[in-house]
């Protein structure tokens, strides 16, 4: 029996619960293909899953193979699948399994990756890209001329939000620490505010129309975001919900990204066109995943980290 390497959890807990198990190669079921994984990417929400914090609204069975993002090549075609061939380059958002050498993937979740887009870059797109796309276009409704504050531009989602908001014609003000400032400027931010240097309102020249919050915050820090937005403006948070007090005249919502292949397809197209660039801070082998979880949980990661099995 052919075996493959995986990164799995058999219990919830700290990063030490991640195990590098050899398991039998899966076979694709009806409507699926087997993907030979070129790369997955780390998303901090998976660290929350690993810790058992998502079990109430996103329950998973154990053992659970990590890896929501996957990019690779089709290795085997399941029954009922048309339009895919062995060797096709694909990317998709799966419900786990990408942190392995091979993964079964429903073809309905997969998008073609052009030859000009490296698979390692494509692997950074599903979770972060879908979240960024939906925050900017669906919930933020960013349009030309809007003043948009991106809080947390240095992260995996933030780099894509900044570029998509610029692409939509907005004036983008981004918060980033010195380690990320240059990258965020290159991604198109018109102004970068160093969030480590003091309160954001001290550096913001006038309120914004829209604030996209991409950072987990304490309640006082979340409340401090509200006065940065003009009356009639809007806050969209993908992390800590922000609740404006009555009378602030600011609307706020918390969003959870959904898997929509049309959005992923559009993102791949923007990367192919050179409109969006992927900010890869590191590429690590699968067996470094434990370390990557620890680094993320202690705030030491930035950009996207690619995991290669
Ligand atoms: N709701 C959803 O559907 C959804 C989807 C995806 C992710 N998320 C959540 O959204 C958050 C961001 O995800 P991600 O993948 O972008 O995470 P990430 O890549 O781990 O974000 C790390 C970045 O956060 C920045 N940061 C940390 N504290 C900050 C602060 N106080 N102010 C401004 N920036 C700060 C840092 O920027 P510097 O480098 O500038 O220090 C760092 O680069 C995570 O909490 C994740 O769990 C939610």
Which is it for strands 191-193 and 171-175: parallel, antiparallel or unpaired? parallel
User: Ligand 1 centroid vs 211 CA: distance in angstroms?
Assistant: 14
d(CA 173, CA 33): 42
Structure tokens belonging to residue 195: 């969030």
Structure tokens belonging to residue 69: 């993002």
Cα 237-242-248 angle, rounded to 5 deg: 120
The contacts of residue 33 (CB under 8 Å, 6+ apart) are 74, 75, 76, 77, 78, 81, 84, 90, 104, 105, 107, 110
Structure tokens belonging to residue 152: 């947390």
User: Ligand 1 centroid vs 23 CA: distance in angstroms?
Assistant: 33
* Predicted pLDDT at 200: 95
Q: What is the pLDDT along the chain (309 residues), one digit of tens a residue?
A: 799 999 999 999 999 999 999 999 999 999 999 999 999 999 999 999 999 999 999 999 999 999 999 999 999 999 999 999 999 999 999 999 999 999 999 999 999 999 999 999 999 999 999 999 999 999 999 999 999 999 999 999 999 999 999 999 999 999 999 999 999 999 999 999 999 999 999 999 999 999 999 999 999 999 999 999 999 999 999 999 999 999 999 999 999 999 999 999 999 999 999 999 999 999 999 999 999 999 999 999 999 999 999
Specify whether the CB–CB gap between 116 and 60 falls below 8 A. Answer: no
Number of Cβ atoms within 10 Å of the Cβ of 178: 11
H helices of the chain, in order, are 44-50, 119-122, 126-133, 156-167, 178-186, 219-223, 261-272, 289-297
Could you say which DSSP state residue 249 is in? -
Atom of ligand 1 nearest to the CA of 48: 47
d(CA 42, CA 66): 9
* Predicted pLDDT at 126: 98
User: Ligand 1 centroid vs 157 CA: distance in angstroms?
Assistant: 7
Could you say which DSSP state residue 137 is in? I
Choosing from 152, 239, 303 the residue with most ligand 1 atoms within 8 A of its CB, the one to mutate for a pocket test is 152
Q: What are phi and psi of 306, to 5 degrees?
A: -95, 135
d(CA 305, CA 41): 6
User: Ligand 1 centroid vs 273 CA: distance in angstroms?
Assistant: 26
Q: For residue 63, say if its preceding peptide bond is cis, omega within 30 degrees of 0.
A: yes
pTM of the predicted structure, to 2 decimals:
0.98
H helices of 81-197, in order, are 119-122, 126-133, 156-167, 178-186
Atom of ligand 1 nearest to the CA of 159: 16
Per CATH, which fold does 3-124+278-308 belong to? Quinone Oxidoreductase; Chain A, domain 1 (3.90.180)
Whether domain 128-254 has CATH 3.40.50.720: yes
User: Ligand 1 centroid vs 107 CA: distance in angstroms?
Assistant: 29
Pocket of ligand 1, beta carbon within 6 A: 43-45, 127-128, 131, 151-152, 154-158, 175-177, 179-180, 195, 214-216, 238-239, 255-257, 296, 301-302
Indicate the SS3 state at residue 248: coil
Atom of ligand 1 nearest to the CA of 44: 47
- The ranges assigned to domains in the chain are 3-124+278-308, 128-254
User: Ligand 1 centroid vs 117 CA: distance in angstroms?
Assistant: 25
Strands (E) in the chain, as ranges, are 3-5, 8-9, 18-19, 22-24, 32-41, 64-65, 69-77, 89-93, 102-106, 110-112, 147-151, 171-175, 191-193, 208-213, 229-237, 251-254, 280-285, 304-308
Which is it for strands 147-151 and 208-213: parallel, antiparallel or unpaired? parallel
Number of Cβ atoms within 10 Å of the Cβ of 191: 16
């Amino acid at each position: 029996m052919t075996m493959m390497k995986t990164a799995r959890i058999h219990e919830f807990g700290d990063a030490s619960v991640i195990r590098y198990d050899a398991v039998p190669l899966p076979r694709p079921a009806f409507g699926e293909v087997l993907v030979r994984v070129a790369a997955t990417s780390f998303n901090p929400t998976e660290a929350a899953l690993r810790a058992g914090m998502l079990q109430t609204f996103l329950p998973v069975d154990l053992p659970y193979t990590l890896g929501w993002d996957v990019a690779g090549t089709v290795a085997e075609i399941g029954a009922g699948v048309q339009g895919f061939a062995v060797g096709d380059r694909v990317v998709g958002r799966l419900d786990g399994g990408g942190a392995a050498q091979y993964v079964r993937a429903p073809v309905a979740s997969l998008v073609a990756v052009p030859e000009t887009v490296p698979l390692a870059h494509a692997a950074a797109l599903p979770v972060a890209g879908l979240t960024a796309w939906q925050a900017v276009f669906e919930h933020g409704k960013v349009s030309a001329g809007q003043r948009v504050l991106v809080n947390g531009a240095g992260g995996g989602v933030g780099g894509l939000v900044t570029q998509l908001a610029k692409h939509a014609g907005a004036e983008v003000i981004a918060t980033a620490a010195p380690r990320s400032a240059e990258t965020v400027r290159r991604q198109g931010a018109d102004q970068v505010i160093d969030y480590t240097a003091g309160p954001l309102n001290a550096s913001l020249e006038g309120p914004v129309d829209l604030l996209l919050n991409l950072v987990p915050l304490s309640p006082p820090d979340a409340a401090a975001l509200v006065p940065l937005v003009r009356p009639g403006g809007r806050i969209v948070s993908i992390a800590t919900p922000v609740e404006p007090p009555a009378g602030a005249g600011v609307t706020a919502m918390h969003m959870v990204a959904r898997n929509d292949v049309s959005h992923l397809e559009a993102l791949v197209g923007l990367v192919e066109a050179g409109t969006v660039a992927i900010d890869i801070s590191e590429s690590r082998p699968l067996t470094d995943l434990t370390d990557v979880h620890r680094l993320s949980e202690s705030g030491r990661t930035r950009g996207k980290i690619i995991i290669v099995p």
